[in-house]
Amino acid sequence: MRLRNTVCLAVLLYAVDLHVTSGRHVSEDVVDDVVNDVTDELDAPTEVVDTEVSENSSASNHLLLSREKRKAIKYLQYRWKQNEIPFEIDYSKFNSTHVYEIFKGMNEWQTYTCLRFRPRKQQDQNYVTFEHHESKCQAVIGMSHAGQTIGLAYYCFNSHTILHEIGHAIGFYHEQSRPDRDQYITVSKNVANDYSL
């Protein structure tokens, strides 16, 4: 599976690299076809377990006890619909290595969650755009109603940072913002005034 993913990503990178370095315009349809072919190959199995259970079942009780507090956004209006996240990438600002890291990050989320990333269609109103940012790695928490940016400075291009920023766009807060954080961390109040927020 990993070898197949690597080969698919290599093909995608080759196509993107040709697009970026040739200086010629490649139609959006051609890029979309390549991206669709590769993302189809990268998808994890699409079977999703139905999580609707009756209130009295032991599975329901387990879910209620074990999933009360999360670090993800809880408001439905900020969750991605149908577990799909349409995306676009500003190819003019990123080289093939950058694009590879972005796809690798999306694939990692797809592998371990029920979320699916797909290229944005014209009619998509809610989507993420991977754009270059001069000095920051940043993303809005959850789906904002309209296009939103995952801003990536060039120093952000490592697997952990891209996963982190995609996680924000999905709807995850930082660990220290979890409602149960006090069970796991101790906050020292000895920060010098010059360094406090």
Which residue ranges make up the annotated binding site?
A: 164, 168, 174
Which residue ranges make up the annotated binding site for Zn(2+)?
A: 164, 168, 174
Give the residue carrying structure tokens 């009780």. Answer: 61
Spatial contact of 101 and 158, defined as CB atoms under 8 Å apart:
yes
The catalytic residue among 28, 55, 134, 165 is 165
**How far apart, in whole angstroms, are the C-alpha atoms of residue 142 and residue 145?**
10
Q: In what order do the strands lie in the sheet with 116-119?
A: 116-119, 84-89, 127-132, 147-152, 137-139
Closest of 69, 102, 73 to residue 168, by C-alpha: 73
Q: Based on the residue annotation, tell me whether 165 is a catalytic residue of this protein.
A: yes
Beta strands 116-119; 127-132: pairing state: unpaired
Spatial contact of 181 and 159, defined as CB atoms under 8 Å apart:
no
Spatial contact of 128 and 169, defined as CB atoms under 8 Å apart:
yes
Catalytic annotation, residues:
165
